[in-house]
Amino acid sequence: MIKTGFVDKLPFILVFAIIVSYSLPAASAMCPLCTASAAIGLGVARYYGIDDIVIGIWLGALAVSTALWVNNIVKKRAGAKFKVLPIYEALLIAAVIAATIVPFYFAGFFSGMPGMVDTIFGINRLVFGIIVGSLVTFIGAPMSNMVKRKRNSVFPYQTIIITFLMLIALSALFWYVTKYYYVI
């Protein structure tokens, strides 16, 4: 039996993601298309040996965006029938993050990459990245609201762009630090 790698399957995954994205209803701030493209990007990054902290940052962003997306669906469908508790969003985010971390643990992804230290500040590198990425994604909307209040204007996809730029900056910082100053 011939084994094929992730890169061999990438064209099929991309075609599937495009087909699914066109069959979905209008996108909201945290849409399934964003979630699917982030998941594809993560698989490619791991294949090319990107540090687990950087991958974890994007996994955390994926988990929070998925939780917020599900939260929006629940709010829309629930309507006036019942009141969604404020803690529900935090519990949903925690559940999605746990649902992200637990399979990685059992799949053996917490062993790290060869020749690398598995922890940062005593926390597994992947888990640390997930926590940091979750926090940055969660504060993306308040940062966007702050910009809206200061400038009294909004540009298209502002919340997504601000969150994405913060994630890119944080990823670049951790990539640089772990590549050149592997002290943390």
pLDDT tens per residue, range 13-64: 555 555 654 554 444 434 556 555 655 666 677 778 788 888 889 888 888 8
Task: Identify the band that residue 133 occupies on the pLDDT scale cut at 50, 70 and 90.
Answer: very high
Q: How far apart, in whole angstroms, are the C-alpha atoms of residue 65 and residue 35?
A: 7
| CA separation, residue 96 to residues 15, 34, 59, 83 (Å) | 26, 16, 11, 21
| CA separation, residue 147 to residues 44, 136, 140, 153 (Å) | 33, 16, 11, 8
User: Which pTM value belongs to this model?
Assistant: 0.68
Task: Identify the band that residue 73 occupies on the pLDDT scale cut at 50, 70 and 90.
Answer: confident
The position carrying tokens 């643990």 is 105
